[in-house]
């Protein structure tokens, strides 16, 4: 190739890459604002104006992106069959396509999260011990191994830090009752091993985590 042609080819290549990059970014931005508009119109009236949770509807702000996406789809396919999920989320998820789920997850995961601080602070210390070390005697693994030192989660493993005591308590107990058996392993089995006291302690501790 002549020098000029090489220059032209490499310029075209650079421009193509730059445009592709910005188109991808613009696509991401578009998805992001769609996620915001969708959340504001469809989710905030139950989950709270800044999606920090309201009554039995949990905080979604700052939740792990992959986890949010997975939950929206599991409401759609009814894998998540807890009583309140059936009552409220099955209907809500009818309108959610995989693309919408992705956009919502991107938006919601970017929001700042506030801690619920609604647990029993007398139980928080024992909850923290259980969270960080598990219980060898009861065969309960240390939650920290998967959910992280600050309850932040990773990938499809949810952030627990700061969620409402009432919500965590209900969710953990419901695995023991047989609900949501198709959740990401090993949660159904692990939660089934928790006693009522364990659950209250864990839920209390986590509700205070920033």
Residues 79-108 that bind another protein (CB under 8 A): 83, 87-88, 90-92, 94-97, 100
Part of the chain binding another protein (CB under 8 A), chosen from 5-13, 23-31, 66-74, 186-194:
186-194
| Helix, strand, or coil (residue 175) | helix
Asked whether 16 and 9 are in contact (CB, 8 A), the reply is: no
Residue 8 CA: distances (Å) to CA of 14, 15, 16, 20: 10, 10, 12, 18
Q: Which is nearer to another protein, 69 or 152 (CB)?
A: 152
Which residue in the set 60, 191, 206, 209 belongs to the binding site for another protein (CB under 8 A)? 191
Determine phi and psi for 143, rounding to 5 degrees. Answer: -55, -30
Q: 207: burial class by Cβ within 10 Å (0-12, 13-18, 19+)?
A: buried
Q: Which of residues 114-143 bind another protein (CB under 8 A)?
A: 118, 132-142
In angstroms, give the least distance from the CB of 202 to another protein.
12
Q: Which is nearer to another protein, 8 or 95 (CB)?
A: 95
In angstroms, give the least distance from the CB of 173 to another protein.
7
In angstroms, give the least distance from the CB of 21 to another protein.
21
Token pair 């309201």: residue: 54
In angstroms, give the least distance from the CB of 138 to another protein.
4
Q: Which is nearer to another protein, 17 or 196 (CB)?
A: 196
DSSP state of 67: H
**Rounded Cα gap, residues 111 and 118, in angstroms:** 21
């Amino acid at each position: 190739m002549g020098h000029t042609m090489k220059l032209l080819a490499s310029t075209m290549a650079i421009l193509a890459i730059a445009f592709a990059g910005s188109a991808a970014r613009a696509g991401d931005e578009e998805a992001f604002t769609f996620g915001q508009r969708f959340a504001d119109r469809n989710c905030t009236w139950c989950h709270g104006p800044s999606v920090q949770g309201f009554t039995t509807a949990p905080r979604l702000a700052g939740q792990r992106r992959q986890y949010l996406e997975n939950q929206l789809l599991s409401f759609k396919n009814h894998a998540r069959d807890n009583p309140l999920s059936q009552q409220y989320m099955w209907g809500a998820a009818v309108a959610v396509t995989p693309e919408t789920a992705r956009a919502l997850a991107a938006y919601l995961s970017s929001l700042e999260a506030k801690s619920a601080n609604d647990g029993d602070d007398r139980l928080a210390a024992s909850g923290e011990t259980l969270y960080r070390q598990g219980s060898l005697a009861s065969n309960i693994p240390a939650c920290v191994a998967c959910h992280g030192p600050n309850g932040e989660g990773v990938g499809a493993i949810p952030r627990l830090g700061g969620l409402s005591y009432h919500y965590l308590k209900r969710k953990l107990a419901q695995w023991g009752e047989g609900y949501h058996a198709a959740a990401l392993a090993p949660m159904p089995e692990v939660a089934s091993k928790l006693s009522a006291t364990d659950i209250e302690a864990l839920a209390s501790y986590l509700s205070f985590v920033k």
